[in-house]
Structure 1
Amino acid sequence: QAVTHVVMDMNASYATLVPELFPNAQIVIDRFHIVQLMTRAINTIRTGIQHLLDKHSREYKIMKNGWRLFLKKYSNLETTHRKYMRGLNEYITEEEALTLVFKSFPVLEAAYLV
């Protein structure tokens, strides 16, 4: 009765068991598992799109070699300093790279911005 909070992952079986054992407890999902779920979701969408693309397209190369960009917070993207992007063989900012992909795949942009 004295337990007020239970921190857990997103396992459904735990969610049904906790109210029975701790009727006054509030379930809290830890940050690690929320971040893990979001990372898996964006990577699943990105790789699904990659499988549809020609391996020589600019979008494919950005998604393949620049996969970390899709996990970066938008406000932390480099917007002014151009860096050499392997695979593309050109200098481009991180924001320009994502914008190029998002123009062709608005579904990926919507998932990224959530």
Structure 2
Amino acid sequence: MNAPYYVLVKELFPKAKLIVDRFHLSQLIVRSLSQTRIQLMNRFKTACPENQKTYRKLKRYWKLVLKKETELSDTSYRYTPLFKCMMTSRGIIDYLTNFDESFKAIYRLVQQLTVAFDHRNFEAYNTLIHQKHSSVSHYLKKSLRTLRKYSHAINNSFIYRYSNGHLEGINNKIKLIKRVSFGYKNFTNFRNRILLCFNN
């Protein structure tokens, strides 16, 4: 969804059907949720002991906030040190989202978008991104504007199963090789190492 890249592809391949990679769609809305959580968390970063407890809870359970609701449990209880009692993962999420109405609204919307995305229901997805969401943070509003802008390409990602995930994986592995070796002075050696790693 990089604007210059989008324009360039349209110019070079005017008849091509553009597809936004599904990973980047999920990443965009999840990043907005994370930024909102951090913003809320920093509001509790004060000298007050009660606020500090809330800050630690919002910081500690960030992974739960990003989980799909279907992966949360309301029957499996575990002792949670920050709460000093037995809690379920769903109970923790309910506790965290009740701190702020805006955060709760964003969490609900992100979960609804995720469900629509998982079920490849573009109508539901499109309805959600075009609705007025006055109570959400500016981070998510910005993400929703981006999603509306590329709605046609997003629709194609719901129809077709093409993905650049394999290419992203190769690129990530090459970067890892470069980082682990602290760089290569000789490009030929670097190229040979990449080919060896990919068994070519």
Alignment equivalent of 1:111, drawn from 106, 110, 113: 106
C-alpha distance in 1 between matches for 2:63 and 2:95 = 15
Aligned to 2:166: none
Aligned to 1:55: 52
The within-5 A match list for 1:61-72 is 61-72=56-67
C-alpha distance in 1 between matches for 2:62 and 2:85 = 17
Deviation at 1:87, TM superposition (A): 2.4
Deviation at 1:47, TM superposition (A): 0.5
Pair 86,13 (structure 1): closer, same or farther in 2 beyond 3 Å: farther
Contact kept, 8 Å, 2:53 with 2:82, in 1: the verdict is no
The within-5 A match list for 1:78-97 is 78-97=73-92
Deviation at 1:100, TM superposition (A): 1.3
Aligned to 1:25: 16
C-alpha distance in 1 between matches for 2:81 and 2:63 = 13
RMSD over equivalenced CA pairs, Å: 1.4
TM-score, normalising length from structure 2? 0.48
Deviation at 1:89, TM superposition (A): 2.5
Report which of the two has the higher share of strand.
1
Contact kept, 8 Å, 1:65 with 1:86, in 2: the verdict is no
Aligned to 2:68: 73
Q: Which has the higher contact order (CA 8 A, sep 6+)?
A: 2
C-alpha distance in 2 between matches for 1:38 and 1:93 = 25
TM-score, normalising length from structure 1? 0.81
Aligned sequence identity (%): 31
Measured against aligned partners, the alpha-carbon deviations of 1:41-73 in whole angstroms (never above 9, x if no partner) come to: 11100000000012123xx33311111111111
Deviates more, 1:93-102 or 1:42-51: 93-102
C-alpha distance in 2 between matches for 1:112 and 1:26 = 32
Where structure 1 has 5 or more consecutive residues not aligned to the other structure, the ranges are 1-9
Deviation at 1:94, TM superposition (A): 1.1
Matched length: 103
C-alpha distance in 2 between matches for 1:64 and 1:80 = 24
Report which of the two has the higher share of helix.
2
C-alpha distance in 2 between matches for 1:71 and 1:102 = 12
